[in-house]
Amino acid sequence: MIQITVWNENFHESTKEEIAKIYPKGIHGAIKEGLETEADFTVRTATLTDPEHGLTQEVLDNTDVLLWWGHMKHNDVADEVVERVHKRVLDGMGLIVLHSGHASKIFKKLTGAASEDLKWRETGDMEKIWLMDPSHPIADGLPELIEIEHEETYGEHFNIPAPDEIVFMSWFSGGEIFRSGCTFKRGKGKIFYFRPGHESYPIFHREDIRQVLKNAVRWAKPLHNSPSVAYGHYNFE
Ligand code: ZN
């Protein structure tokens, strides 16, 4: 079984009626629903207001892949918890960072991104997400183009270090482009950043988006038998 934890700050859904209508079970609930159709996935959720944000050492030790949705409350995430997640990623836990999670403490710490740096606009532009790498495991079963009728616009320049791979690239009807699916490796951990998922559109109810997340979980999960690695002063014996 692949153990998955979906983390969400759960702020918009609990404070704005119109967002709660779109996500009655929270964004985390919708993501969970999308993932748990896979027979070999076990999915739990955690939110900001849970003790230790629901990300205790025990939870993280039993998580193969962590998904992260945050927007307004990045600074309310305790540094101690960020440190704990960071260590687990370096030790092999997969991390999938969604939408405005680009500005989360954990994404910035892991990638070094100056990641508030991008253009954005909420005018309901159409988004066309083009598949840039049809050989990539995250592309499995997807069409080469995902069209989303209305989304928040993000535009380049997106101030991240060069990703290892660009799996998706978006075009918006306002003319912007954006690297919407980026992979990074840090230590033994694999990280996937995926752009769509603004709270005021029902993005995580879509089958194609759910397929991306399922594929990303399978790609990001740790190796079966992770090799042990020595760092620091080393003598050949
Ligand atoms: Zn947004």
| Ligand 1 center from residue 198 Cα (angstroms) | 4
| Ligand 1 center from residue 22 Cα (angstroms) | 14
Residues 107 and 10: their CA atoms lie apart, in Å, by: 18
Residues constituting the chain: 237
Does pLDDT of 113 surpass 70? yes
Query: Interhelix angle for 26-35 vs 207-220, to 10°?
Result: 80
| Ligand 1 center from residue 6 Cα (angstroms) | 18
| Ligand 1 center from residue 224 Cα (angstroms) | 35
Nearest Cα to Cα of residue 186 among 102, 70, 80, 95: 95
Residues 40 and 188: their CA atoms lie apart, in Å, by: 22
| Ligand 1 center from residue 152 Cα (angstroms) | 6
Residues 182 and 16: their CA atoms lie apart, in Å, by: 30
Can you name the residues that pair with 131 across neighbouring β-strands? Answer: 168
Residue 72 in tokens = 């307004």
Paired sense of beta strands 189-194 and 177-186, if any: antiparallel
pLDDT tens string 223-235: 999 889 888 998 8
Contact predicate 201/25, CB 8 Å: no
Give the CA radius of gyration of the chain. 17
pLDDT tens string 177-226: 999 999 999 999 999 999 999 999 999 999 999 999 999 999 999 999 98
Residues 39 and 45: their CA atoms lie apart, in Å, by: 17
| Ligand 1 center from residue 80 Cα (angstroms) | 26
| Ligand 1 center from residue 195 Cα (angstroms) | 9
| Ligand 1 center from residue 19 Cα (angstroms) | 12
| Ligand 1 center from residue 100 Cα (angstroms) | 6
User: pTM of the predicted model, to two decimals?
Assistant: 0.97
Residues 82 and 88: their CA atoms lie apart, in Å, by: 10
| Ligand 1 center from residue 109 Cα (angstroms) | 21
